[in-house]
Amino acid sequence: MKTVFLGAGSMAESILAGALKNGALSKENIYMTNRTNKTRLVELQQKYDINFSYDGEELLNGADIVILAMKPKDAAPALEDLKGLISVNTLIISVLAGISINYIEDTLEFKGGIVRAMPNTSATIGKSATGIAFNKGVTLTKQDLALSLFNSIGITTVIEEEKLDIVTALSGSGPAYFYYIVEALLKTSEEMGLDQSLAKPLIIQTLLGAGEMLATSGQEAKTLRENVTSPGGTTEAGLFALQKNQVNEAFNECLHEAAKQSQCLRELYQSQAKSK
């Protein structure tokens, strides 16, 4: 199955690494390209033993899957270059934040199957949480193909495209929120006198354990929280500080602002493209 990555950034590499590790893709059938950074392509070729090319016909001839993974601001010229080179039988998968399926269809003048997916960089270790939407051109067979690819790098949820801005804010950007929390915990624990070499493994294991409890216990987050919160205890004191500092409201604003930015970027990129 010939798979072509257009774009060779961190998201493309995360999908590539995860899919190779889990056997969803074969290295000999993978081709990558980008706009001009050949050094990056050579690096990925040496690291993963894949192919790269700047020849559009070589890349796209016989391609079963084309993954759009360039920067969203570069989508317009990249799609213009693709026009006429892609077979209607090729499945197009976009992981571009804010770029709609309709825009891709119109720009490419393409009547085939288009998938829009929002994974995250935990794809590298097979732990991505991906939201995915299909246009009407995606057959059941191709839906299975796309789901198989993204399930190989984590879990996948089929969702209406209009809700992908929320998914982008929640799980697409989500790893960064948890990294931010870990940074804060590390900094504070160090200020309190606990060396980071000791604090870090404790924080990581606590995070892993909480996630596993949520995934396997069958209990809601609220119930799990209440189970470890004794009246007058340390957990209650810590949670009170979070409530006093309006952490709930901060996360509320965090998700709303990230989703809003996804919408703004879509309008910006697509309006810029139309004005050219």
What is the percent of the chain with per-residue pLDDT over 70, rounded to a whole number? 98
Q: How confident is the model at residue 262 (pLDDT cuts 50, 70, 90)?
A: confident
67, 4 contact by CB (below 8 A): yes
**Residue among 39, 52, 26, 71 nearest 265 (CA):** 71
pLDDT of residue 118: 94
Kindly provide the residue ranges of all beta strands, DSSP E only, lying in the chain, ordered along the sequence.
3-6, 30-33, 51-52, 65-68, 91-94, 114-118, 128-134, 154-158
Distance of CA 150 to the CA centre of its chain: 10
Q: Is the pLDDT of residue 273 over 70?
A: no
Same domain, 113 and 235: no
pLDDT of residue 194: 97
For 9, 55, 111, the CA distances from 26, given in Å and listed in that order, are 19, 21, 27
**Average model confidence (pLDDT) for the chain?**
93
The verdict on residue 168 lying in a domain is no
254, 177 contact by CB (below 8 A): yes
The verdict on residue 269 lying in a domain is no
Q: Is the pLDDT of residue 13 over 80?
A: yes
Residue predicted with more confidence, 63 or 273: 63
The verdict on residue 267 lying in a domain is no
**CATH code assigned at 200:** 1.10.3730.10
Nearest-angstrom CA–CA distance, 160 and 158: 7
49, 16 contact by CB (below 8 A): no
59, 33 contact by CB (below 8 A): yes
Same domain, 32 and 56: yes
Average pLDDT over residues 219-242: 97
Nearest-angstrom CA–CA distance, 211 and 30: 33
Burial class from Cβ neighbours inside 10 Å (0-12, 13-18, 19+) for residue 93 reads: buried
Same domain, 147 and 178: no
Same domain, 70 and 129: yes
The structure's pTM equals 0.86
* Tally of domains in the chain: 2
The verdict on residue 264 lying in a domain is no
**Domain extent for 221:** 174-257
Q: Which residues, 6+ apart, have CB-to-CB distance to 269 below 8 Å?
A: 72, 73, 75, 76, 98, 99
The one-letter amino acid code at 107 reads T
Average pLDDT over residues 106-116: 93
Q: Is the pLDDT of residue 85 over 80?
A: yes
Same domain, 122 and 229: no
pLDDT of residue 275: 61
User: Beta 114-118 vs 128-134: how paired, if at all?
Assistant: antiparallel
**CATH code assigned at 91:** 3.40.50.720
Per-residue model confidence as pLDDT tens digits over 140-189: 999 999 999 999 999 999 999 999 999 999 999 999 999 999 999 999 99
pLDDT of residue 274: 62
pLDDT of residue 72: 85
Same domain, 87 and 149: yes
pLDDT of residue 276: 58
Same domain, 134 and 77: yes
End-to-end CA distance of the chain: 35
Nearest-angstrom CA–CA distance, 13 and 19: 10
Q: How confident is the model at residue 84 (pLDDT cuts 50, 70, 90)?
A: confident
